[in-house]
Amino acid sequence: MVDFTLTPRQRELRQIAHDFAMDVVLPAAEKADRVPEPDKAFDWSIIREGSKRGLRTLTVPKEYGGEGANVLTCALVGEQICYGDLGIGVAFDQTWKIMTTIARLTNEEQRRRWLPRIVEDPEFLLGIAMTEPMHGSDNILPYEKTMETRAERRGDTWILNGTKRYISNGGLAKLYYVVARTAFDRPLAESLTGFLVPADAPGFTVTEVWDKLGQRAVQNGTLRFENVEVPDADRVLEVGKAAPTMAAFLLRHGSNIQAGASVLGVAQRAYDLAHQYAFERVQGGEPLIAHELQRVRLARMAMKIQAARSYLWFGACDCGQETFDPKHASLAKIFAAETAVEVCRDALELWGAAGYMRKNPIEKLMRDALSFLHSDGTNDVLALKAAAFIADEKPDPSARRYCGRTFEAAMGR
Ligand SMILES: Cc1cc2nc3c(=O)[nH]c(=O)nc-3n(C[C@H](O)[C@H](O)[C@H](O)COP(=O)(O)OP(=O)(O)OC[C@H]3O[C@@H](n4cnc5c(N)ncnc54)[C@H](O)[C@@H]3O)c2cc1C
């Protein structure tokens, strides 16, 4: 059973995020979207303001001065910020996700060394580097032949070499959680290791900031590691133990759920603008809202958004349960990402040609929404992951919920 009653603090944080989105993020969104150079669009003043309002450090544990927020709180807050702009929301959400990883996986000494720096610097963002030019989904399913970035041990230091790409907050983050190969002669489950790599490490460069269709307010970078020296003190967990952390990052620690909540903010914005337009635009002598077909369109948009939100909230609450069912994290993200694209398309239809015009707000939402068909794992690959969990759930024919005739029917009798 899951109880969706929000705590007073969750309601308060959602309101803080809503005000931040309306006062600060939304007014700046169009300008950032229009900047032609992808490395010139990011507005640090927004991050500083978010820091002032306590939003950047949402998942920093309370004992280190943060909010200690769980996945549901991140989903609530993230949806609100992304209502203002998806790119800015992603800059915050990535930081929350990686902070959760740091808080859960690092040792006491690492937390004491890194967390105060992150909390005190209002421009401290985080990034996670898994995807490589030749291995994208390979890392998510994952296959044995994946991950070419390597780390070799020399005494108390690891030498990191390789390339990661499409990394959110790439070129903005001050610290990256990087997963690299530390063995090529063992099964994958024993050969990946996580490291904390600061952006000012010698040999680390951002070789490209990607020019994207949407999410233009945030950067996605290609990260190059050339003989980057990482002290063993910044290795996360034991050597060879990072593979399960990648799965946990996406599922139990909330990345998929938070991704779904982010893109849902875009869907909600598209719905609100479609709803408003339906009252303003007159055709056939009446506002569009008076035409049944458009009313039904809006009703179906509202239905999908609320269904996606309910599924995400369920998945977020499930992350904290002992009985956690991992398939729901992926499936809720897929459903939210598809919903956002469908709702934005409906908003485009309802706005007519005006929706297609760049001086109006709808086309940006469509471009933004498309990003989460791929970001945080492609929907297809996440569906494959969920399907694998389902294939592992063997039905017990003696359980009352199953039908005694199933075996007979399957035998053709
Ligand atoms: C906006 C954005 C932000 C991102 N941020 C980050 C980040 O912060 N950190 C990070 O590490 N990565 C990030 N990524 C990368 C993202 O995780 C990858 O793009 C994603 O995992 C897919 O990898 P790929 O793009 O190489 O596609 P590929 O893996 O090459 O996939 C191509 C197509 O093949 C399909 N496919 C792949 N494998 C199979 C299979 N076994 N069976 C059937 N079909 C298959 C896919 O679904 C897809 O349709 C980001 C991507 C985007 C778009």
pLDDT tens by residue, the chain, 413 residues: 678 899 999 999 999 999 999 999 999 999 999 999 999 999 999 999 999 999 999 999 999 999 999 999 999 999 999 999 999 999 999 999 999 999 999 999 999 999 999 999 999 999 999 999 999 999 999 898 899 999 999 999 999 999 999 999 999 999 999 999 999 999 999 999 999 999 999 999 999 999 999 999 999 999 999 999 999 999 999 999 999 999 999 999 999 999 999 999 999 999 999 999 999 999 999 999 999 999 999 999 999 999 999 999 999 999 989 999 999 999 999 999 999 999 999 999 999 999 999 999 999 999 999 999 999 999 999 999 999 999 999 988 888 888 889 989 999 99
* pLDDT at residue number 1: 66
* Closest residue CA from atom 38 of ligand 1: 137
Which residues, at least 6 apart from 234, have a Cβ–Cβ distance to it below 8 Å?
A: 110, 195, 196, 197
* Closest residue CA from atom 9 of ligand 1: 167
Task: For residues 214 and 218, give the distance between their C-alpha atoms in angstroms, rounded to a whole number.
Answer: 9
Task: For residues 52 and 210, give the distance between their C-alpha atoms in angstroms, rounded to a whole number.
Answer: 29
- Other Cβ atoms less than 10 A from the Cβ of 405: the count is 9
Phi-psi region of 70 (alpha: psi -120 to 50; beta: other; left: phi over 0): beta
CA of 41 to the centre of ligand 1 (A): 24
Around ligand 1, the residues with Cβ closer than 6 Å are 128-131, 136-137, 140-141, 166-168, 215, 220, 371, 374-375, 377-378, 380-381
What are the b/e assignments for 5-42, b being 16+ CB within 10 Å? Answer: eeeeebeebbebbbebbeebbbebbeebbeeeebbebb
* Pair 144, 110: CB distance under 8 Å: no
Atom of ligand 1 nearest to the CA of 169: 8
* pLDDT at residue number 142: 85
Atom of ligand 1 nearest to the CA of 130: 11
Written in H, E and C, the secondary structure of the chain is CCCCCCCHHHHHHHHHHHHHHHHHHHHHHHHHHHCCCCCCCCCHHHHHHHHHCCCCCCCCCHHHCCCCCCHHHHHHHHHHHHHHCHHHHHHHHHHHHHHHHHHHHCCHHHHHHHHHHHHHCCCCCEEEECCECCECHHHCCCCCCCCCCEEEEECCEEEEEEEEEEEECCCCCCEEEEEEECCCCCCHHHCEEEEEEECCCCCEEEEEECCCCCCCCCCEEEEEEEEEEEEHHHEECCCCCCHHHHHHHHCCCCHHHHHHHHHHHHHHHHHHHHHHHHHHCEECCEEHHHCHHHHHHHHHHHHHHHHHHHHHHHHHHHHCCCCCCCHHHHHHHHHHHHHHHHHHHHHHHHHCHHHHCCCCCHHHHHHHHHHHHCCCCCHHHHHHHHHHHHHHCCCCCCCCCCCCCHHHHHCCC
* Closest residue CA from atom 26 of ligand 1: 136
Burial class (CB in 10 A: 0-12, 13-18, 19+), 363: buried
CA of 379 to the centre of ligand 1 (A): 9
* Closest residue CA from atom 32 of ligand 1: 137
Global confidence as pTM: 0.97
The residue assigned the tokens 């399913």 is 141
Separation of CA 99 from chain center: 13
* Pair 67, 398: CB distance under 8 Å: no
Task: For residues 346 and 297, give the distance between their C-alpha atoms in angstroms, rounded to a whole number.
Answer: 7
- Other Cβ atoms less than 10 A from the Cβ of 267: the count is 29
CA of 132 to the centre of ligand 1 (A): 9
Task: For residues 180 and 196, give the distance between their C-alpha atoms in angstroms, rounded to a whole number.
Answer: 11
176 residue type, one letter: Y
The residue assigned the tokens 């498309």 is 370
The residue assigned the tokens 């034991």 is 238
The residue assigned the tokens 């003989």 is 227
User: Which residue(s) pair with 168 in the sheet?
Assistant: 220
Task: For residues 243 and 255, give the distance between their C-alpha atoms in angstroms, rounded to a whole number.
Answer: 15
Q: Domains plus CATH for the chain?
A: 8-123 (1.10.540.10), 127-240 (2.40.110.10), 251-392 (1.20.140.10)
Task: For residues 404 and 397, give the distance between their C-alpha atoms in angstroms, rounded to a whole number.
Answer: 7
CA of 381 to the centre of ligand 1 (A): 8
